Structure 1
Amino acid sequence: MARVNRTVRDFENGLISLLEKVPFDRITVDQICQEAMLHRSSFYRYFHDKYDLLAQTIDGQLNKLISNQQTTDGIVDAILNYVDHHQELFHHLVATKDRPGIHAEILQIISDLILHRSQRDNNDLVLQAVSQSDQPELMSYMIGGSINGAFMWWQKHNYDVSREEVAKFCKQQIHNISNSGRLV
Structure 2
Amino acid sequence: MKKEDLRITKTKRDLRLALIYLLKDVPFEKVTIGDICEKAMVNRMTFYKHFKDKYDLLDHAIDSLLGQIIQKVAQQIMPVDSFDDFVEFCVLLAKTIIEESSAKKDIFPELYRSDSGIVYDVLTRTMHHYISLLVQEVGKYKKLKHSLQTTTEFLSGGIIHLICYWLLHIDEFDKNDFIKGSEIFTRELITSNLFFTD
| Structure 1 and Structure 2 fold alike (TM over 0.5) | yes
When Rg is computed on C-alpha atoms for both structures, the one with the higher figure is 2
Question: Which residue in the other structure is 1:163 paired with?
Answer: 175
Q: Which aligned pairs between 1:138-157 and structure 2 lie closer than 5 A? A: 138-157=150-169
What is the letter of the counterpart of residue 138 of structure 1?
Answer: T
Offset from partner CA, 1:105-124 (integer Å, 9 cap, x none): 2222112102213434x5xx
What is the letter of the counterpart of residue 130 of structure 2?
Answer: L
Question: Which residue in the other structure is 2:196 paired with?
Answer: 182
For normalisation by structure 1, the TM-score amounts to: 0.81
Offset from partner CA, 1:114-153 (integer Å, 9 cap, x none): 2213434x5xxxx878x63142332222221221111121
What is the letter of the counterpart of residue 86 of structure 1?
Answer: K
Q: Give the Cα separation in 2 of the matches to 1:150 and 1:143.
A: 11
Offset from partner CA, 1:28-86 (integer Å, 9 cap, x none): 21111011111111112222221221121101110111113121122112211111111
Question: Which residue in the other structure is 1:132 paired with?
Answer: 143
1:87 aligns with 2:108: no
Contact kept, 8 Å, 2:111 with 2:120, in 1: the verdict is no
Contact kept, 8 Å, 1:24 with 1:93, in 2: the verdict is no
Q: Identify unmatched segments of 5+ residues in structure 1.
A: none
What is the letter of the counterpart of residue 155 of structure 2?
Answer: I
Name which of 68, 78, 81 aligns with 1:64.
Answer: 68
Contact kept, 8 Å, 2:58 with 2:122, in 1: the verdict is no
Count of aligned residue pairs for this structure pair: 176
- How much identity, in percent, do the aligned residues show? 22
Contact kept, 8 Å, 2:91 with 2:187, in 1: the verdict is no
Q: Give the Cα separation in 1 of the matches to 2:140 and 2:24.
A: 37
1:26 aligns with 2:16: no
Question: Which residue in the other structure is 2:86 paired with?
Answer: none
1:109 aligns with 2:123: no
For normalisation by structure 2, the TM-score amounts to: 0.76
Q: Give the Cα separation in 1 of the matches to 2:184 and 2:157.
A: 14
Question: Which residue in the other structure is 1:45 paired with?
Answer: 49
What is the letter of the counterpart of residue 170 of structure 1?
Answer: S
Q: Give the Cα separation in 1 of the matches to 2:171 and 2:151.
A: 28
Question: Which residue in the other structure is 1:16 paired with?
Answer: 20
1:88 partner SS: coil
What is the letter of the counterpart of residue 113 of structure 2?
Answer: A
Q: Identify unmatched segments of 5+ residues in structure 2.
A: 78-88
Q: Give the Cα separation in 2 of the matches to 1:150 and 1:11.
A: 28
